[in-house]
Amino acid sequence: MAAPLLAAAMLSLASVPASAGAVRDHRSEALSARLFPLFDALGRELSALDALKAQPDVAAMLRARQERRDACTSDLGCLAQAMIWTSAETSLIAGKAVRPSGQRDADDGTAAQATREIEGANAIVRTFGLGQVPPYPQIDGAGTIDPQETRARLQAAAWLAQTPRAASTQALDPGFDFALALLDASDRADAIGFEPLIGGLNAPAMKRAKGIDWKRFRYSAMIVTGVGPEVPDMALSPFGKYHLRLAASRFAAGDVPFIIVTGGRAHPRATPFTEAEEMRKALIERYGVPAEAIVIEPYARHTTTNLRNATRLLMEMGAPLDKDTVIVCNPGQSAAISSPAFVQRNITELGYEPGKVGRRISPTELEFRPSAQSARVDPKDPLDP
């Protein structure tokens, strides 16, 4: 039977044109939609994309970018630098961009969103293509890699950026696909690992939340912050295991309907483990907490985004924002969250406070009132969803 099957397969392949044109890359599509939603939507609405490209000043700017890339010839470092959008280029295209049909307007407008997305693409190229040290080098960036591997990643990104991909922004400029390819080459597609977030592992809790009587509980949820391991191949840190014992004990008191465990693939860099997923597993297997009582937030990389992303999930669940949550963590982290320095850190990193930290109930528990401001897009969103 093998020979006829092989012959049939070869016959099928023979009918495929040598160049079939643009194909869909579902992984890149998902990552593009997550990180660059405005420009991704433009790539799928050709009339809006063509109208943008047809504007004389935009067309001139895009030609200048192409000439800059062409001048690099085979110099990959030069090419990566040429992919960076200058401030003048960013201002021009952000001011001209229009929101495609069906796209919800950002809270601060289309131009501001376009600027954020371009700056996000620039940050990816600088970090993963040009070796710029990120703000948190222990967990972000490509780390120290062999020069030959660096060149391979740059070359692959350059090739992929000019190899047609359906429903992409390549018809406008290859810069976004170059950034996506650099992330893919570094295996950093973390931002799409658990989409849609209201489904999958969160489906049981989200279903339960629809019928919950929030008035029955003192707190709308318990937020268990991440404290990732620094040891490769370790799924949960020693402090993380302590957090879970605290959480299980607190949940047993009966005044909290849900536990939100928050933490992404952060510690150490390039870990295969997602902290929130591992915490959920341990709560169920070790402590018997029901799955419908656990919500995972698998993207946060810092304490600031632990609270921001947990607040966004509370909104998805329909939890009342005029009700406190309780944060459970080790005494050192709890003290840091309750300090004035943490307020300033939120302002610096997010541009606002995701909520108000209230009284400290114990060395390991403090109250937190979530804020609807967490729903807005902030400066960390392009790289830290």
**Cα 126 to Cα 81: distance, rounded to the nearest angstrom:** 8
3-state per-residue secondary structure call for 7-39: HHHHHHHHCCCCCCCCECCHHHHHHHHHHCHHH
- Confidence band, pLDDT 50/70/90 cuts, at residue 149: very high
Confidence (pLDDT) at 102: 75
Confidence (pLDDT) at 10: 36
Structural tokens at position 133: 């040290």
**Cα 177 to Cα 28: distance, rounded to the nearest angstrom:** 8
Confidence (pLDDT) at 376: 67
**Cα 385 to Cα 378: distance, rounded to the nearest angstrom:** 10
- Confidence band, pLDDT 50/70/90 cuts, at residue 16: very low
- pTM for this structure? 0.86
**Cα 356 to Cα 338: distance, rounded to the nearest angstrom:** 10
Per-residue model confidence as pLDDT tens digits over 72-104: 999 999 999 999 999 999 999 999 988 887 777
| pLDDT reading at 9 higher than 90 | no
How distant is the alpha carbon of residue 328 from its chain centre? 24
Confidence (pLDDT) at 380: 54
| pLDDT reading at 105 higher than 90 | no
**Cα 52 to Cα 223: distance, rounded to the nearest angstrom:** 44
SS3 53: helix
Residue 233 has phi, psi (to 5 degrees) of 70, 10
The distance in angstroms from the start CA to the end CA of the chain is 50
Q: In degrees to the nearest 10, what's the CA dihedral of 155, 134, 183, 30?
A: -150
Return all residues near 197 (Cβ < 8 A) that are at least 6 apart.
Answer: 297, 298, 313, 316
How many CB atoms within 10 Å of residue 301?
24
Asked if residue 116 lies in contact with residue 379, where contact means CB atoms within 8 angstroms, the answer is yes
**Cα 76 to Cα 161: distance, rounded to the nearest angstrom:** 13
